[in-house]
């Protein structure tokens, strides 16, 4: 019954969210004003097939991360988010865990930056939400498991990203990310998901263990990044990091110098991503 009610709630909330409210093109004939499953999949960063199975009650035990991403993509209020957790027979995260709730003001900011790649990460560097231009630029943000969406895991154990690195820049990036993660672990010592992430990284990455045991704590800073896009080629972009007061979250924004070749290529990336979504 819980799975059935969970699926009904997701479908009901999906039907009430219009594409233009979340910065997506309406895209041709639509049978309903709400989001298609494929559109919700892009916003939540999980597969459309998994959303189908959730709505039909065929996917049991959705993770905390899946519920959080669905709540954000569906623009749920705090009360609705808590209700979705209860339908999944889970307890909503408390104040001793890494904050994952995106405030309405931050969500409005994301909705208005429809032509700029933007992503929001929590204090542990797990991706919370990426807008369609960011997905078009950086590709698949990872699977439903929280670790697959974590920047530290992806760079040290996973498939990496489209960002180009020299050996020196890669070492500096790994050092900065691990030092930042260590600082977050100090702020949230009771967060079980963060402890599991650290344990997996320590067990499977000698590089992580070396950096973690060094004891260094630091904050990751923004920088210029060169992104190797499979259809457009290399783009050198400014990557700026904004912090969200009171929630320990980071907003990552990619921009290019107006009138530059990189700006033209970035615009093409966004157009191509929009065409793939509407197609």
Backbone angle region of 191, left / alpha / beta, with phi > 0 → left and psi within -120 to 50 → alpha: beta
The kind and range of the H/E element at 254 are strand 249-255
Mean pLDDT over 42-47 rounds to 82
Can you give the residue range of the structural domain that contains 77?
Answer: 2-87
Domain boundary among 59, 87, 115: 87
User: Are residues 176 and 209 located together in one domain of the fold?
Assistant: yes
How many structural domains compose the chain?
2
User: Are residues 149 and 272 located together in one domain of the fold?
Assistant: yes
As a whole number of Å, the CA-based R_g of the chain is: 19
Residue 33 is encoded by which pair of tokens?
A: 């004003």
Q: Does residue 6 register a pLDDT over 70?
A: yes
% of the chain at pLDDT higher than 90: 52
Domain-located, residue 118? yes
User: Are residues 188 and 145 located together in one domain of the fold?
Assistant: yes
Domain-located, residue 237? yes
User: Are residues 114 and 199 located together in one domain of the fold?
Assistant: yes
- CA torsion, points 177, 180, 186, 191, in degrees to nearest 10? -50
Q: Does residue 273 register a pLDDT over 60?
A: yes
Q: What is the domain-level CATH number for residue 78? A: 1.10.260.40
Domain-located, residue 96? no
User: Are residues 258 and 195 located together in one domain of the fold?
Assistant: yes
Banded model confidence at residue 1, pLDDT cuts 50, 70, 90: very low
User: Are residues 30 and 157 located together in one domain of the fold?
Assistant: no
Mean pLDDT over 99-117 rounds to 85
Residue 246 is encoded by which pair of tokens?
A: 């009171």
User: Are residues 265 and 134 located together in one domain of the fold?
Assistant: yes
pTM score: 0.76
User: Are residues 214 and 131 located together in one domain of the fold?
Assistant: yes
User: Are residues 156 and 254 located together in one domain of the fold?
Assistant: yes
Q: How far apart are CA 161 and CA 163, in angstroms?
A: 5
């Amino acid at each position: 019954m819980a799975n059935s009610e969970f699926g009904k709630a997701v479908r009901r909330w999906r039907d009430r969210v219009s594409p233009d409210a979340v910065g997506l093109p309406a895209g041709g004939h639509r049978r309903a004003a709400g989001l298609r499953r494929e559109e919700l999949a892009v916003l939540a960063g999980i597969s459309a097939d998994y959303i189908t199975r959730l709505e039909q009650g065929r996917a049991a035990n959705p993770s905390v991360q899946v519920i959080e991403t669905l709540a954000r993509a569906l623009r749920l209020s705090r009360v609705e988010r808590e209700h979705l957790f209860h339908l999944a027979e889970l307890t909503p995260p408390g104040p001793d865990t890494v904050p994952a709730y995106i405030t309405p003001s931050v969500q409005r900011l994301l909705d208005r930056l429809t032509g700029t790649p933007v992503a929001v990460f929590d204090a542990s560097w797990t991706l919370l939400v990426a807008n369609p231009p960011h997905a078009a630029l950086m590709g698949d943000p990872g699977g439903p498991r929280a670790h697959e969406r974590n920047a530290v895991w992806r760079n040290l154990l996973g498939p990496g990203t489209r960002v180009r690195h020299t050996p020196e820049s890669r070492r500096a990036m790994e050092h900065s990310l691990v030092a930042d993660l260590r600082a977050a672990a100090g702020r949230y010592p009771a967060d079980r998901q963060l402890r599991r992430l650290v344990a997996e990284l320590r067990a499977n990455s000698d590089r992580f263990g070396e950096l973690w045991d060094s004891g260094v704590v630091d904050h990751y800073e923004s920088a210029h990044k060169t992104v190797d896009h499979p259809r457009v080629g290399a783009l050198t972009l400014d990557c700026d990091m904004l912090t969200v007061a009171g929630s320990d979250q980071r907003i990552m924004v990619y921009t290019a110098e107006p009138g530059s070749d990189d700006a033209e290529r970035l615009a093409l990336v966004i157009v191509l991503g929009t065409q793939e979504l509407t197609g």
